[in-house]
Amino acid sequence: MADKDGNKVAKNYRTDVEFGRNGGFHVKGMEDVDWGMKSRLSKIFQPESGNTVMLAFDHGYFMGSTAGLERLDLAMPPLIPHVDVLMATRGALRSCISPQYNKGIALRCSAGSSMMDDDLSHEVIAVDIDDAIRMNASCMAIQTFIGAPGEKSSIENLCKTIDAGNRYGIPTLGVVAVGKDMERTPAFFKLATRMLAEFGAQIIKTYYCDDFEEITAACPVPIVVAGGKKVTEKDALTMAYLSMQGGARGLDMGRNIFQSDCPVGMAKAIGAIVHNNANVNDAYDLYREEKGV
Ligand code: 5RP
């Protein structure tokens, strides 16, 4: 291991230069993976735009029921036609979601804490590869807690899942968690996203922050941005737009869709930004149109 003292801070991200290994496959850094992995990645990142809209409703794995998710069986079906991927637990999918939707599945595969815990950073691998295959997962999502007490075990969970996924051609989505004591700084997100990519995660999920284009430039695999807590629709669409302009290859949104006063409108608006390069005002008009105002 290189000693960390005297490490010169990275600064030359060349954000104006496209990723160098932009061969024939539309997903960053995945030129050399196997056919099956490319097939699953193509279920996530649409070949036409190269991007993805994930509808996240896996919150129950540590929150239980939350506003907007009281009835998954009722709340999710109207949204599913407007998104590419469902990010959910196996329990939610098997009990509430028809397999006929034929959407990508980002299967929540880590767990270990609840809202009752002060420290959420201690998770385990909660779904084995057999059941991920049985669920026809397009990718397996593992939470990592860089800088938190559960850092090492979460890295171990991620790496074991990557190894199992590589055996069967299933990508791993490395999720960057931000604990309550951690700052959402560019320095933190640069560290965490690059580490997860270096471990071999094929997709990274993180949050938008300043200097975001440097984070995506330094990450050799696609970054998807989590929506975070509910904000105004305009602010959520602005964050989505800035994320895509900054090099993200998609959004993984939950609360800013299912807690909106017009969830279908928000799903459509996010899709317009992600797949049609719509600007914030045009996307916001789509939301208002659906809302009927
Ligand atoms: C919840 C998650 C969610 O997948 C992720 O945070 C996106 O949901 P939201 O947009 O509501 O933050 O990991 O544990």
In order along the chain (293 residues), what is the average pLDDT of each group of 10 residues? Answer: 83 92 90 97 97 98 96 98 98 97 97 93 97 98 96 98 98 90 87 98 98 98 97 98 98 98 98 98 98 96
Q: Are 26 and 109 in contact (CB under 8 A)?
A: no
Residue 35 Cα, ligand 1 centroid: separation in angstroms? Answer: 29
Give pTM, 2 decimals: 0.96
**CA gyration radius, the chain:** 18
d(CA 130, CA 123): 19
Side chain identity at residue 45, one-letter code: F
Distances (CA, A) of 54 to 1, 34, 65, 80, 158: 36, 23, 20, 10, 20
Residue 227 Cα, ligand 1 centroid: separation in angstroms? Answer: 7
The domain ranges of the chain are: 35-291
Residue 55 Cα, ligand 1 centroid: separation in angstroms? Answer: 9
Helix pair angle (151-168, 186-199), 10° resolution? 40
d(CA 223, CA 192): 12
Cα dihedral angle (107, 218, 206, 95), rounded to 10 degrees? -10
Residue 15 Cα, ligand 1 centroid: separation in angstroms? Answer: 27
Active site residue 205: yes
d(CA 142, CA 201): 10
Ligand 1, atom 14, lies closest to the CA of 59
Question: Which secondary-structure segment (H or E) carries 272?
Answer: helix 263-276
Distances (CA, A) of 264 to 28, 226, 271: 29, 18, 11
pLDDT of amino acid 180: 66
CATH number for region 35-291: 3.20.20.70
Q: Are 53 and 85 in contact (CB under 8 A)?
A: yes
Ligand 1 atom with the smallest distance to the CA of 253 is 10
State the catalytic residue, choosing from 28, 103, 205, 268. 205
List the one residue out of 50, 138, 41, 40 whose CA is nearest residue 87.
Answer: 138
Name all residues whose Cβ lies below 6 A of ligand 1. 56, 58-59, 87, 175, 226-228, 252-256
pLDDT of amino acid 184: 85
pLDDT of amino acid 203: 99
